[in-house]
Structure 1
């Protein structure tokens, strides 16, 4: 008995409309269908060689970073020493007058008191 509604078989390559309605996009492969090639795995000797190369490269990188850090520290220390020497030389070159009479201090106004330094 033929039915009025027949199941239509679709060809293999044709699918319905995609959910995003982007008909130009191809559906991606499922992760289970991707099979790794057996020759992709490297040998144990090769892995040891690569590991040694990576270790040597990391050590070299670490040495370079340490060298740069030391140079920066030396430069910073030299600048700080220079700044300190400059301050000391300025203090040496100043003309200083000692105030021995404490009554003079009491007579000074606020502006003059600000300019006085205690050493």
Structure 2
């Protein structure tokens, strides 16, 4: 190191030592004894200089209680801005409700259309069926299980009347 840097380092160290000594002296001065009756109370006791934390996390500062933190009320807006903001917020809420209602309506319409299509398809399927009336019940007894599965009972009179 050069002489200038050595001198700067030494002067910084001297300043630190002076500050520590001044802090100790001021601590002694700040201990004020107040006599009330027979009891003695110490007021304004400063915390000692904190050393290295046990955990090794030097960047973590000592926590304060929430009650000791100074709270600010924040910036206050004037009445005109506040009312304009309120109206704008109300308008956006109405728009969002309107959009949600439209989406619900679209969904309901889509479901209704689907139901109608399923119903129409079922009707078309019934119309396209080939119907064969079985008058002889003995035929049913002779049929195999697989054939019996395909047999369905229908009222053919309604279909005949509807087609007229």
TM-score range, shorter chain: 0.7 to 0.9
Residue 73 of structure 1 deviates from its aligned partner by 1.3
- Note the residue ranges of structure 2 that are not aligned, 5 or more in a row: 1-22, 28-46, 155-164
Q: Alpha carbons of 1:69 and 1:33: their partners in 2 closer, same or farther (altered >3 Å)?
A: same
- Note the residue ranges of structure 1 that are not aligned, 5 or more in a row: 1-7
Residue 50 of structure 1 deviates from its aligned partner by 1.7
1:118 has 2:149 as partner: no
Root mean square deviation of aligned Cα:
2.9
What TM-score do the two structures reach when normalised by structure 1?
0.72
What TM-score do the two structures reach when normalised by structure 2?
0.55
**Relative contact order higher in (CA < 8 Å, ≥ 6 apart):** 2
Q: Deviations over 1:86-106 (max 9, x none)?
A: 221122112111112222222
The count of residues paired between Structure 1 and Structure 2 equals 111
Q: Which has the larger radius of gyration?
A: 2
Counterparts of 1:44 and 1:28 in 2: how far apart (Å)?
38
Residue 70 (structure 1) aligned to one of 75, 85, 105: 105
